[in-house]
Amino acid sequence: MRLKSIEKCQSGDKLARSIYTENGTVLVGAGVELTERMLIRLKSKNIASLYIEDKRTDDIMVETVISESTRREAMSIIHETFRAVHEVPQKWHQLFSDKSFGRNIRQVMTAVVDELSGSRAAMNLLADACAFDNYIFAHSFNVAIYSTALAMKTGCSEKEVLEISIGGMLHDVGKMQIPDTILKKPGRLTTEEFEVMKKHAEYGFEMLRRQDEIPLLAAHCAFQHHERWDGSGYPRKLKKEEIHPFGRLMAVADVFDALTSHRVYRRGMMPHEAMEVLYSGSGRLFDQKYVEALRDTIALYPLGLSVTLSSGVSGVVINSNKGMPSRPVIRILVDEEGQDLVQPYECDLSQNLSLMIVACGDLV
């Protein structure tokens, strides 16, 4: 299988991985031949790229990080919680005083933590991509995954990992108290509107800190995820170590998902491009420790991605090297002249340090 941007997909291409909705149900199953109508529908649901069958790379297997059932369970809790708060904002006290609500969250996030700790490979973000209608729901789930992986990578205790994963899932719950006119405004927010939007951090904190089953530090993730290392964030303009480590970690997970998410109005960045943005803010906006931990956690070049090397040849990423995220293994399919090779060969960039990836996208 290989990764193809949706703009380049054509009717007749065969889907190599199922596409799920944000509820975890199958939208289009693996093996299905795509039609023009399906492609239009997938585009409208914020899908940026698809894994399609390709006989030159059909031996590549891409593992999902989180199982279908756990994802479905987590997404349904996010839906229920966020919708309940959004529909009757005055009644959030009621929802948050229900002990089973906190217990369910603990349970599903414990499953997420277990599955993540069992996976050996670097995280392949695009393998888990789903079609979504509501950005906040998908974003909450993704931030939960990234922040949990970061917590594990940086040596947090089991208790802390669970606190962070719950914090990641609920970090933006305060947005459900922001009026729709601002929350769903398609264009840029005015200065006044942005001031209202900023309140979501405090709203979230106020809601979560009152729930006995939600750890207080998870509430602080909501409170501090927009603080920045140099004091330029909000709501309290905290600086450096004044920000709790969980808040600093959450900032990195939050921004990374915002940059890589595909939205109707802009294409999401590739993981390595988003990492460049985070590096440029490392030690200024973000704590360097967590930027580096993220780099070592995710697959910078997802399996199946087409790349061109500095020598002029092109191919497809077929494996990642743990510990050397920017130097994956490439199957070379096209020579320097742009001719398909009769006999493709493999090039491990961790062994060929003079070669660089100079371009990626729909090349082969």
Using CB under 5 A as the criterion, which residues of the chain lie in contact with Fe ion when the complex forms? 172
Under 8 Å between Cβ of 295 and 282:
no
CA–CA dist 279, 290 (Å, integer): 10
In angstroms, give the least distance from the CB of 121 to Fe ion: 29
In angstroms, give the least distance from the CB of 171 to Fe ion: 6
Nearer to Fe ion, 171 or 295 (CB): 171
Nearer to Fe ion, 33 or 195 (CB): 195
Q: Is 76 left (phi over 0), alpha (psi -120 to 50) or beta?
A: alpha
Residue nearest to Fe ion (CB): 172
* Tokens describing residue 212: 């006995």
In angstroms, give the least distance from the CB of 240 to Fe ion: 20
Nearer to Fe ion, 138 or 360 (CB): 138
Nearer to Fe ion, 22 or 172 (CB): 172
* Tokens describing residue 184: 């769903």
| Number of residues that this document lists for the chain | 364
C-beta atoms surrounding 192 within 10 Å: 9
Under 8 Å between Cβ of 203 and 90:
no
Nearer to Fe ion, 38 or 201 (CB): 201
In angstroms, give the least distance from the CB of 165 to Fe ion: 17
Q: Is 182 helix (H, G, I), strand (E, B) or coil?
A: helix
Residues 155, 203, 185, 49: what is their CA dihedral angle, to the nearest 10 degrees?
A: 20
CA–CA dist 127, 303 (Å, integer): 8
In angstroms, give the least distance from the CB of 253 to Fe ion: 11
In angstroms, give the least distance from the CB of 65 to Fe ion: 23
Provide CB contacts within 8 A for 275, sequence distance 6+: 256, 291, 294, 295, 300
Of 277, 298, 269, 278, the C-alpha closest to 361 is 269
CA–CA dist 37, 331 (Å, integer): 32
In angstroms, give the least distance from the CB of 333 to Fe ion: 42
Nearer to Fe ion, 56 or 244 (CB): 244
Nearer to Fe ion, 47 or 251 (CB): 251
In angstroms, give the least distance from the CB of 226 to Fe ion: 6
Nearer to Fe ion, 228 or 272 (CB): 228
CA angle at residue 78 from 51 to 118, to 5 degrees?
Answer: 55
In angstroms, give the least distance from the CB of 225 to Fe ion: 6
Q: Is 251 helix (H, G, I), strand (E, B) or coil?
A: helix
Of 117, 152, 145, the C-alpha closest to 130 is 145
Task: Beginning with the edge strand found earlier in the chain, give each strand of the sheet holding 306-309 in spatial order.
Answer: 340-348, 329-334, 314-319, 306-309, 357-360
Nearer to Fe ion, 141 or 301 (CB): 141
